[in-house]
Amino acid sequence: MASIDAVLLALDNNRPAALDRLFELLAIPSISTDAAYAPQCERAADWLAKELTGLGFDAAVHPTAGRPMVLGHAKAAHRDAPHVLFYGHYDVQPVDPLELWNTDPFKPELQEGRRIVARGASDDKGQLMTFVEACRAFRETGGLPCEITVLFEGEEESGSPSLPAFVAANRDALKADLALVCDTGMWDAETPSITTMLRGLVGEEVVVKAADRDLHSGMFGGAAANPIHVLARILADLHDGEGRVALAGFYDGVEELPADVAEQWRALPFDEAEFLHGVGLSVPAGERGRSVLEKVWSRPTAEVNGITGGYGGPGFKTVLPAQASAKVSFRLVGRQDPAKVRAAFQSFVRERLPADCTAEFLPHGASPALQLPFSSEALTRARRALHAEWGKEPVMAGSGGSIPIVGTFKQDLKMDAMMIGFALDDDRVHSPNEKYELTSFHKGARSWARVLDALAK
Amino acid sequence: MASIDAVLLALDNNRPAALDRLFELLAIPSISTDAAYAPQCERAADWLAKELTGLGFDAAVHPTAGRPMVLGHAKAAHRDAPHVLFYGHYDVQPVDPLELWNTDPFKPELQEGRRIVARGASDDKGQLMTFVEACRAFRETGGLPCEITVLFEGEEESGSPSLPAFVAANRDALKADLALVCDTGMWDAETPSITTMLRGLVGEEVVVKAADRDLHSGMFGGAAANPIHVLARILADLHDGEGRVALAGFYDGVEELPADVAEQWRALPFDEAEFLHGVGLSVPAGERGRSVLEKVWSRPTAEVNGITGGYGGPGFKTVLPAQASAKVSFRLVGRQDPAKVRAAFQSFVRERLPADCTAEFLPHGASPALQLPFSSEALTRARRALHAEWGKEPVMAGSGGSIPIVGTFKQDLKMDAMMIGFALDDDRVHSPNEKYELTSFHKGARSWARVLDALAK
């Protein structure tokens, strides 16, 4: 196997051809949500399978009830190499409003010698091709450092309806030591990022009931229990004065960040005011003594997402309602147990019910947090590899919401995921004039080469 | 003017004829809500005007946009007599479901020698005729002890749409020292009752706003203000640990009951458990240390009648909503000022708004409590008069809700009202087989004779 320097040199030498290949893929209008473009999705899948085959992968297009999957597999140059599963998606968002595009979204252009402009340039064709180009460079210089399975999906932009069943039906083919996902962004144009944490979610609806019918507040007001009051008091208790969630045992399994990550986050040039200003706010709410980044990346939360009780129409009605309900969600981190959190919430509610009131609960999904351990050897190696490429320590990022594919990999294949991507905040993903920086494309490929090399050592 | 004994004797002697007259009125199907019965309403109005004219009243039928009013006036036998306005209504509820009636609702019957059965027997034809018969007895024995204006309405069962304008247009004709209303009930078959208190009402809607759009709780949850939490905390604070309303100055103008009334209420055989059991409850909520009767008759309240925020549809949505709102009503007693209560609530909300949250308020009506002062000489006399007739102290009742006609008299004519009626809880008002006890009819007429006599002394 060649040295990483030889691989990087090959990548640099291949740049014009790599861009031509990306443009070929970008020219295929593989919009997944519109059935009229189904043949174009098949074309894109075929194109990718052919690419992989050309790189020595055992690759094929697999039909689904929707758009096809591309699945490829290649052995490493050496035995005992680690096995990784790489995920990307070849489908793209629709292009309307078309009149806001300055160029044809499916006639890719390199603008000002530095921006690749086309639908899918950043999300996700440009990104997945960084990995393909890294594989090519290894092939040209002696072989792959890792055993690699590649999964390219064609329905990510329309909710991945076929994915869970496909994963369940192809466990043996997909199972690897670690999943690599290239569908996220950099911290900024100079700073790479690895997303290692995705918060989990418990959804629960609570219905508080009192009288067996709606009452007239003139006749009963002041003497009969009002479920809206009861519910309001319970929800008001849900957070303590410090903004912490007051459920018993809620923070079991929640760990503080490692010192180096905490220090990194503190040092990040993140403008909390600007983040909030974008949605009309100015002061962070929530847990006292935590930064906004901590709050949305690494801290668990309780949020009421909906509340309903009594009369909600126009005007007024002096009703004392028989019931009131709330939909509450808990974002989980670390090793918080969704079932325990749900049970703790139910106890919390029941302990606060006054006489004559009952509570009913409706579950609305539960998923644990996903976290690639900070102590993971793969993470340490990837951090070092990205640092070598970018000259800066990569940001250990979290994601406040879930990314379904990562949950599927974890739940069905018991496989952790490391998310590394090179998109920038200004890439206009899902919008007109989507672009991908040429540096993202070139240094992204070099990054993957370094990561694969590092994982194999 | 004859002695009250002569008047009561005349009433007793007139009983068969009085019942015949009531049956004539009950036989007229004066259903106000159904336009098909409009001619019958006119017949009832004509019949009443003719009755009053026969008793020496200057009486006439006054058309309105809906059913006509009957207005009559008669001077007292002596100068310097007090002037009272008597109110009743001649319209009745519809009779369906007709198949549940055991007799024709408009063929009045005396059943078992003691129950007058017909639509309107109790609500309100039987009741208003108690007053008319008392007037007749005075006429036959020397003249009226009070100057009397009579107002019979024909739209009470359909919301009194014409009443406010009619009162406003006839202020001089209607203004008197005191209004007497006969449309309420007895405490029980042996115990008379005077309703002297009607709670007032302030309705207010509050909308708490935070971000300028709905947010994704994965992206912002834990860092952005959630208006549902803010609203829940504010509403949870609305009552203190003793169930008292926590607004500043809320109890200004709220007085404790006079000792004799408080003692009377304590002694009343009112089964709180049974009252609550009827609607599926068992334990009184609300202000600690107060009886249920106090709570619904004489204590002010704050009740949330509706709450809405975020996602309320089926399933779940992890939204962090831009706003949440509640409809809150305050029942007022004594001299509580509706404007001050509204302002106190608005301040209460504003003081509790965290950074970035605003509140908007929408008013939904305001009416002060109505209370005939316990110290009123007229009330003292009426209590004595009813005691003389029934051998028991009348219950000083309150009403948790409002009675619009009394508010109109107070607001437009600056006139207090005393509500005395002889209906019983089992009269099946608004239901099939409505009835009025013969004792209610006879002793009701005797009661009015004693009350009018007492007011004039």
Mean pLDDT along residues B319-335: 94
Return the residue matching tokens 């008091």. Answer: A233
Q: Which two tokens stand for residue B325?
A: 């709102």
Rounded to the nearest 5 percent, the helix, strand and coil shares of chain A are 35, 25, 40
B265-320 residue pLDDT tens: 999 989 998 899 989 999 999 999 999 999 999 999 999 999 999 998 888 888 89
Residues of A in contact with B292 (CB under 8 A): 223
Beta bridge partners of A360: A207
φ, ψ (nearest 5 deg) of residue A329: -125, 145
pLDDT given at position B1:
54
Return the residue matching tokens 């079932």. Answer: A339
The shortest CB-CB distance from B306 to any of A213, A287, A311 is to: A311
The shortest CB-CB distance from B356 to any of A217, A281, A301 is to: A281
Distance from CA of B181 to the nearest CA of A (A): 20
**What distance, in Å, lies between the first and last C-alpha atoms of chain A?**
12
Q: Hey, which residues 188-227 in chain A have their CB within 8 Å of chain B?
A: 199, 201, 203, 205, 210-213, 215-226
Distance from CA of B284 to the nearest CA of A (A): 5
Alpha-carbon gap, residue B449 to B382, rounded angstroms: 11
The shortest CB-CB distance from A226 to any of B221, B233, B303 is to: B303
Neighbours of B202 (CB within 10 A): 26
Q: Inter-chain contact B318–A201, Cβ cutoff 8 Å?
A: yes
Instruction: Count Cβ atoms within 10 A of the Cβ of residue B1 and give its class: 0-12 exposed, 13-18 middle, 19 or more buried.
Output: middle
Q: Which two tokens stand for residue B189?
A: 């078959």
Which residue of chain A has the CA closest to B201?
A218
Is the separation of the CB atoms in A434 and A195 below 8 Å? no
pLDDT given at position A2:
65
Torsion of CA B185, B188, B189, B191, to 10 degrees: -90
Q: Residue B403, SS3?
A: coil
**Alpha-helix runs per DSSP H in B14-72:** 15-26, 38-54
Alpha-carbon gap, residue A111 to A108, rounded angstroms: 9
Beta bridge partners of A151: A71, A87
Which residue of chain B has the CA closest to A236?
B233
Neighbours of B346 (CB within 10 A): 16
Sorted by sequence, the CB contacts under 8 Å of residue A193 that are 6+ apart come out as A184, A185, A186, A187, A394, A395, A396, A397, A420, A421
Q: Inter-chain contact B401–A232, Cβ cutoff 8 Å?
A: no
Q: Inter-chain contact B354–A285, Cβ cutoff 8 Å?
A: yes
The shortest CB-CB distance from B217 to any of A226, A309, A329 is to: A329
Instruction: Count Cβ atoms within 10 A of the Cβ of residue B197 and give its class: 0-12 exposed, 13-18 middle, 19 or more buried.
Output: buried
CA distances to A82, A370, A395, B215, B433 from A373, in Å: 18, 9, 15, 29, 77
pLDDT given at position A159:
84
Is the separation of the CB atoms in B369 and B332 below 8 Å? yes
Handedness of CA A389, A390, A395, A400 (dihedral sign): negative
Alpha-carbon gap, residue B204 to B362, rounded angstroms: 6
Is the separation of the CB atoms in A374 and A258 below 8 Å? yes
Alpha-carbon gap, residue B29 to B120, rounded angstroms: 9
Instruction: Count Cβ atoms within 10 A of the Cβ of residue B175 and give its class: 0-12 exposed, 13-18 middle, 19 or more buried.
Output: middle
Distance from CA of A375 to the nearest CA of B (A): 25
Indicate which of A208, A217, A425 best probes the interface with B, i.e. most B CBs within 10 Å of its own CB.
A217
Alpha-carbon gap, residue A181 to B421, rounded angstroms: 80
B200-254+300-367: CATH topology is Alpha-Beta Plaits (3.30.70)
**For the domain bounded by A4-198+369-456, which CATH number is listed?**
3.40.630.10
Query: Touching check for B295 and chain A: CB below 8 Å?
Result: yes
Is the separation of the CB atoms in A168 and A302 below 8 Å? no
Residues of B in contact with A292 (CB under 8 A): 223
Annotated domain spans of chain B: 4-198+370-456, 200-254+300-367
**In angstroms, how far is CA A444 from the centroid of its own chain?**
19
Q: Which two tokens stand for residue A376?
A: 């993971």
Which residue of chain A has the CA closest to B321?
A305
Q: Which two tokens stand for residue A294?
A: 């901590």
pLDDT given at position A317:
85
CATH 3.40.50.620 fits B4-198+370-456, yes or no: no
- Rounded average pLDDT per 10-residue block, chain A, 457 residues: 89 97 98 95 98 98 97 95 97 92 97 97 97 97 96 92 94 97 95 94 96 87 94 97 97 95 93 90 93 93 96 87 96 94 98 96 90 94 98 92 84 94 93 96 98 95
**What distance, in Å, lies between the first and last C-alpha atoms of chain B?**
12
Nearest to A132 by CA among A449, A457, A453, A440: A449
Beta bridge partners of B193: B395
Find out whether the peptide bond into B124 is cis, omega within 30 degrees of 0.
yes
**In angstroms, how far is CA A92 from the centroid of its own chain?**
17
pLDDT given at position B2:
65
Is the separation of the CB atoms in B171 and B178 below 8 Å? no
pLDDT given at position B366:
87
- Reported as type and span, the H/E element at residue B387 is helix B377-390
Instruction: Kindly report the average pLDDT of chain B as a whole number.
Output: 95
CA distances to A156, B184, B365, B371 from B196, in Å: 70, 11, 22, 6
| Fold matches, A4-198+369-456 and A200-254+300-367 | no
**Could you write out the DSSP letters of every residue in B428-444?**
-TTSTT-EEEHHHHHHH
Residues of A in contact with B311 (CB under 8 A): 305-306, 327
